[in-house]
Amino acid sequence: MKRKILSNRTITRLSLYYQYLSRITDKKFISSKDLAGLLGINDAKIRKDLASAGQFGIRGKGYEISQLHSSLEKVLGINRTWNVVIIGCGNLGSALLKYQGFSKHKFNIVAGFDIDKTKVNKEINGIKIYHFDLFGKFVKSNKIDIAVVTVPQEAASEVIDKVVSYGIKGILNFTPLQVYKKDCIILKTDITIEFIRLACLLANKK
Ligand code: NAD
């Protein structure tokens, strides 16, 4: 049976619940009211979101945390590990390679790629950086699910075409290039947009 498609906003809220629950170690149950108070989200909305993940609280007790956590993992597609490569290991790419928190949430960064000889064959955080010429060969012998693209804008189109041509179905595109490919989900990630969103909320705050 096909799963219901969740809206981006619902996915964002479910991810927030999941991340928050991952950090709780000292209790067994949590109520939607507690979650609402901690996350600043209306508790009726939380109950509706959690129902979409097949979870209904017990009156007077709330939700069993471990059960809720594993349901959220399933709904969010993180009840398995995703193998990730980073293409472009400059400022942003190397910062992502250095961060150790992704693997905790099932995102396993397996390699970096670059064309700069001073970066190729080096390791960051134990992860090797290969020349991008070896990308095809690497993808054929390692199952790669997601490519993170952190190259300069001028190189983005060519890099994304190559990633898609090797059958990778998910791209996190940090470059300013807006790109659409029929057989690949490409999410554009832009911190500037988050700044603008925040500025707009601040400017309109009563
Ligand atoms: P950078 O110049 O420090 O790093 C880019 C790296 O890509 C370099 O190491 C370079 O050698 C490599 N590269 C160039 N062409 C390549 C190719 N064809 N194949 C593989 N590697 C290649 O740049 P940066 O500051 O890390 O920024 C990277 C990208 O991220 C830029 O497009 C920038 O606009 C974008 N960016 C986005 C955000 C955001 O919020 N979306 C924030 C910062 C940077």
Tens digit of pLDDT for each residue in 175-187? 999 999 998 999 9
Query: What are the residues facing 84 on neighbouring strands?
Result: 109, 146
Q: Model's pTM, two decimal places?
A: 0.91
Q: Which residues pair with 131 in a beta bridge?
A: 114
| Residue 112, ligand 1, Cβ within 6 A | no
- Which of 115, 150, 173, 191 for mutating ligand 1's site (highest number of atoms within 8 Å of CB)? 150
What CATH number belongs to 82-193? 3.40.50.720
Kindly indicate the confidence band of residue 3, based on its pLDDT and cuts at 50, 70 and 90: low
CATH number for the domain formed by residue range(s) 8-76? 1.10.10.10
At 59 the pLDDT is 85
Topology match between the domains 8-76 and 82-193 = no
pLDDT digits (tens, 9 = 90+) for 135-188: 999 999 999 999 999 999 999 999 999 999 999 999 999 999 999 999 899 999
What residues are paired with 85 via a beta bridge? 111, 147
Kindly list the domain boundaries of the chain, sorted by start residue: 8-76, 82-193
Model confidence pLDDT, tens digit, residues 80-118:
999 999 999 999 999 999 999 998 889 999 999 999 999
pLDDT in tens, 12-21: 999 999 999 9
Q: Which residues contact 131 (CB under 8 A, 6 or more apart)?
A: 113, 114, 115, 120
pLDDT above 70 (res 206): yes
Task: Identify the residue whose C-alpha is closest to ligand 1 atom 37.
Answer: 174
Residues 128-132, mean pLDDT to the nearest whole number: 98
Task: Give the distance (Å) from ligand 1 centre to CA of residue 77.
Answer: 28
